[in-house]
Every structure is written in structure tokens, then in C-alpha cells.
Amino acid sequence: MRRKLLIFALLGWLPNQAALADPIHAVADAAYWHHESHWVFPDKIRGYSRVGIPQDVAGSEDAVAHYACVEDGVRNTASVDVYRADSASVAEHEAQPSGKMSSEGAFAVGAAHALSGTRRIYSTGTSGFLGVYSIVAGEWRVTIRVSGSQLEAMDAFVREQRWESLAAH
């Protein structure tokens, strides 16, 4: 009898676990949608292609996607982190790289929604840069790290994100 009760208890518990919402869903055009923030991670932006499927971070409401492109034989990368202002991982998401910062200033994105933040550019040697873009949209934060040799292309990668999806939330 005890064994039957245990089995029934387990069977009752399993469907509830399966019913938990997956935080990231595939949508049209090979993009992925983050349920909590409504952020859309496109498949391609400005020559950068998404590498794999976006992930939730350690079961939290945070999400991240990675991108890459090859420019003049050099692989450039980008990461897009989306998280709440009260995330337990804010310090990790917003950590600045070591190295010499070559510029810092305000950066506007999403003209229709008037979002802005900060852009910090670090020299990576030879002719490369690492840009760290930190954008605030209400309770949500987006930190984008993108490497490249052309600041205009890096800025365009950030501006062409799906800002309207987050700002509309």
C-alpha cells in the first residue's frame, strides 16, 4: 500500500514539472523569444550569426545568447545578456573587462522607445576593440559585449537588436 501511495504521489508530481514554462521559445525567422522579458534573440544581426540556442542563466529569469562573425580572417564574438535590475547576477553581467578603456559615453538605441545607456570601448591590441554596451529599459537591463575592428559595425550590431520587444514589456 505504501508503495502505491508513493507511485501515485510521484505521478501527480511529474506532470506539474513538465508544465513549468520553458523560458525561451523558438519563434519565426529562426529567432528565439525570452518569456520573462519578451526579448527577441534574432538569428543574424549585421554579419553576426547566433551561435546555438539562447540559454536561461542557472534557472533564473536571466537569458544570454552568443553571436560570432568572421571579419578579415578574424573571428569576432558578441554576447547579449538580458536580466532584471534585481538579478542576483547583476555584478557578473555588468563586470567590466580588464584592460585599457579607450572611450566611454552615452549611447542611444531604439529611437522609437528612446532607450539609452553607456558604451565603453576597450582596445584589444593590434586593431581590435571590445565594446561593452549597458542599456536600461525599466526593470530590465541588457549588457552587450561585442568585439570587432570597426566601431560603426559594433554600434550597428547593438542598435539593430530587437529593442522594441523589450521596451514594449
Ordered structural domains, the chain, with CATH = 22-167 (3.40.1000)
- At 160 the pLDDT is 92
Average pLDDT, the chain: 84
* Residues in CB range of 12: below 8 A, 6 or more apart: none
Cα dist. 130→57, 58, 63, 64, 133 in Å? 23, 26, 21, 18, 10
What confidence tier does 13 reach under pLDDT thresholds 50, 70, 90? very low
101-109 vs 63-71, strand pairing mode: unpaired
Cα 169 to Cα 39, 72, 139, 164: the distances in Å are 9, 38, 10, 9
pLDDT, one tens digit per residue, over 81-98 is 999 999 888 888 888 888
Nearest 5°: the CA angle 151, 156, 157 is: 100
Q: Give the pLDDT of residue 39.
A: 94
Which percentage of the chain shows pLDDT scores above 90?
53
Q: What is the pLDDT of residues 83-137, one digit of tens each?
A: 999 988 888 888 888 878 999 999 988 666 678 899 999 998 777 899 999 998 8
Q: Please give the residue that has the higher pLDDT: either 92 or 62.
A: 62
Phi, psi of 30 (to 5 degrees): 60, 20
Residue 2 confidence (pLDDT) = 52
HSE, side-chain direction, 13 A CA sphere, residue 74 = 13
- Longest CA span, the chain: 73
